[in-house]
Amino acid sequence: MSVLAIVGGRVHSAGAERQATVLVNTETGLIDDVVDADSLPEVDRTLDASGCVVLPGFVDLHSHLRQPGNEAAETIETGSRAAALGGYTAVVAMPNTNPCMDSAAVISEVLAAGRTALCEIKPSAAITIGREGETLAPMAEMMDLGVRMFTDDGTGVQDDQLMRRALEYASSLEPGDGTQIVLSQHCEVDALSHPGVMHEGAWSAKLGLAGQPSEAEELMVMRDIALARLTKMNVHLQHLSTAGSVEMVRQAKAAGIPVTAEATPHHFCLTDAACASYDPVFKVHPPLRTESDVAAIRQGLADGTIDAVATDHAPHTPDSKERPFDEAPPGMLGLETAFALAATELGLPLERLVDLFSTTPARIAGLSDRHGGPVESGRAANFTVINLDQTWTVSGEDLASLAVNTPFEGRTVQGKVRHTVLNGEPVVVDSKAAR
Ligand code: DOR
């Protein structure tokens, strides 16, 4: 057996932390043992983790990897490299590709490209054909290929009856492997949000830009909570951005309705005031909101109302992002900065961050058998090694993503990924991608 040892770190596992060495069998890709720091057996390779914590690898429920169709902005390979550098060992790829991920053929293509990626690529699939909101996609055959999350992300399913039917149909699907199907919603009522390009409020009025009211999101959150109650089917609410949405999810959970929710770093770090620069790097859907919304998202992350931090990593080419604010596409990079922003900004205990970045998203994505579990003997060796004290400054040019559209350019954050191990292979070593 060939053994990789991660030495000198504090292994954070199931709420406890101890100074220990993680021994990985690189042939099976499993953790062989976690042993006391002073008892290092003979090994083939060591990685230094001194000053670092060893955490279960992160799982992103929401990444746009752009392949197939827009490989100038990102590819599965470059997106997965960005993910690994951000501490992720698995990423759920969103289906708004070209062609759309709405058929077994396109899902198979994404899975094939994902086989050589630097993290596990878990495709989601569209709820409706072409994400056009009219005809249900062939969910069963995509489930058979491993899809567990269905979403029309980029848009929400507008038609109430179709959404009800999608949930009813999905509730009849049984993966048979202990995981569950979830319908994931981009909550936005188009009739209210169009033609808005930022949050509707004092700043949009001042800047003369068309606004999207909070109610455009909240009405769909309200509807989908009602439909989850009606159909008893799991609904995951993507990128919550308003205080009203957080409160509705809080009440739905208290009532036992099967909803989960995610929030993005940009929605807990930035406000609509950033749009005053007219820089399209701050354009995103749903839009950046107000300070009280940011406070509510932070509270929701702290108290468990929001289950996961998701990146909504949305690379766009410089050409497209350099257009005027109202013409540029919405979206921001997220994978390489998400954990550091959360660690720097949220003031949450490490245990809660592990829940938000790893344990709970792994469960929602149906990946708990190999991601998000404790760093212990017998588990898949999917973990990340982070120096929580190291500060660094975000620079789009330095990111591994093909695109550079980070809204956090120049921001100093604390928490740097030193190594990431995927199925026993070190894919990030000393903060550099190994391939
Ligand atoms: O800002 C966004 N960008 N929101 C979305 O829902 C889609 C995403 C994209 O694909 O660029």
DSSP state of 63: E
Roughly what angle, to the nearest 10 degrees, separates helices 104-114 and 76-85?
50
Please state, for a pLDDT cut of 90, what percent of the chain lies above it. Answer: 97
Would the CA dihedral through 360, 364, 365, 369 be positive or negative? positive
Q: Which of 67, 74, 131, 153 to mutate to test the pocket of ligand 1 (most atoms within 8 A of CB)?
A: 153
Cα 210 from Cα 74, distance rounded (Å): 29
Residues 6+ apart with CB under 8 A from 208: none
Instruction: Tell me the Ramachandran region of residue 232: left when phi exceeds 0, alpha when psi lies from -120 to 50, beta otherwise.
Output: left
Cα 82 from Cα 382, distance rounded (Å): 16
Above 90 in pLDDT, residue 13?
no
In Å, what is the CA distance from 342 to each residue of 144, 311, 423?
Answer: 35, 11, 26
> Residue 1 has what pLDDT?
87
Tell me, in angstroms, the distance from the centre of ligand 1 to residue 100's CA: 14
> Residues spanned by CATH 3.20.20.140 within the chain?
58-365
Tell me, in angstroms, the distance from the centre of ligand 1 to residue 37's CA: 45
Cα 314 from Cα 322, distance rounded (Å): 15
The amino acid present at 238, given as its one-letter code, is: Q
Q: What CATH number has the domain spanning 58-365?
A: 3.20.20.140
Chain segment 314-359, per-residue pLDDT in tens: 999 999 999 999 999 999 999 999 999 999 999 999 999 999 999 9
> Residue 210 has what pLDDT?
98
Residue nearest to atom 3 of ligand 1 (CA): 331
Q: Which of 63, 64, 217, 333 to mutate to test the pocket of ligand 1 (most atoms within 8 A of CB)?
A: 64
> Residue 134 has what pLDDT?
98
> Residue 353 has what pLDDT?
98
Q: Is the separation of the CB atoms in 132 and 171 below 8 Å? A: no
> Residue 38 has what pLDDT?
85
| 190 a catalytic residue | no
Chain segment 396-407, per-residue pLDDT in tens: 999 999 999 999
C-alpha gyration radius of the chain: 21
Residue nearest to atom 6 of ligand 1 (CA): 154
Confidence of residue 251 (pLDDT cuts 50, 70, 90): very high
Nearest-atom number in ligand 1 for the CA of 283 is: 1
Would the CA dihedral through 104, 108, 114, 115 be positive or negative? positive
Mean pLDDT, the chain, whole residue set: 98
Q: Which of 226, 221, 219, 215 is nearest to 240 (CA)?
A: 221
263 SS3 class: strand
* Tokens 């759920």, located at residue: 92
> Residue 41 has what pLDDT?
86
Tell me, in angstroms, the distance from the centre of ligand 1 to residue 171's CA: 27
Above 90 in pLDDT, residue 189?
yes
Specify the DSSP element, H or E, that contains 81: helix 76-85
Tell me, in angstroms, the distance from the centre of ligand 1 to residue 331's CA: 5
> Residue 382 has what pLDDT?
98
* pLDDT (average), residues 48-63: 98
> Residue 15 has what pLDDT?
81
> Residues spanned by CATH 2.30.40.10 within the chain?
3-54+377-433
Above 90 in pLDDT, residue 147?
yes
Tell me, in angstroms, the distance from the centre of ligand 1 to residue 360's CA: 23
* Tokens 């109202």, located at residue: 326
Fold category of 3-54+377-433 in CATH: Urease, subunit C; domain 1 (2.30.40)
Tell me, in angstroms, the distance from the centre of ligand 1 to residue 280's CA: 13
Residue nearest to atom 4 of ligand 1 (CA): 285
Q: Which of 284, 317, 401 to mutate to test the pocket of ligand 1 (most atoms within 8 A of CB)?
A: 284
Residues 6+ apart with CB under 8 A from 287: 196, 197, 198, 199, 212, 241, 272, 275, 330
> Residue 117 has what pLDDT?
99
Q: Which of 297, 292, 406 is nearest to 356 (CA)?
A: 297
Quick one: CA torsion of 271, 237, 367, 6, rounded to 10 degrees?
20
Ligand 1, residues at Cβ distance < 6 Å: 64, 96, 153-154, 186, 284-285, 314, 329-331
Nearest-atom number in ligand 1 for the CA of 96 is: 10
Nearest-atom number in ligand 1 for the CA of 153 is: 6
Residue nearest to atom 5 of ligand 1 (CA): 154
Structure tokens at 219: 């009405």
Q: What is the CB neighbour count within 10 angstroms for residue 424?
A: 20
Above 90 in pLDDT, residue 21?
yes
DSSP string of 110-151, one letter each residue: HHHHHTTSSSEEEE-B-SBGGG-SSSB--HHHHHHTT--EE-
Chain segment 200-250, per-residue pLDDT in tens: 999 999 999 999 999 999 999 999 999 999 999 999 999 999 999 999 999
Nearest-atom number in ligand 1 for the CA of 315 is: 11
> Residue 219 has what pLDDT?
98
Nearest-atom number in ligand 1 for the CA of 94 is: 10
Cα 60 from Cα 357, distance rounded (Å): 7
- Of these residues, 312, 389, 398, 430, which one is catalytic? 312
Cα 85 from Cα 417, distance rounded (Å): 6
> Residue 194 has what pLDDT?
98
Confidence of residue 40 (pLDDT cuts 50, 70, 90): confident
Above 90 in pLDDT, residue 14?
no
Tell me, in angstroms, the distance from the centre of ligand 1 to residue 406's CA: 14
> Residue 284 has what pLDDT?
98
> Residue 412 has what pLDDT?
98
* Tokens 């060939």, located at residue: 2
Q: What is the CB neighbour count within 10 angstroms for residue 161?
A: 7
Structure tokens at 365: 């994505």
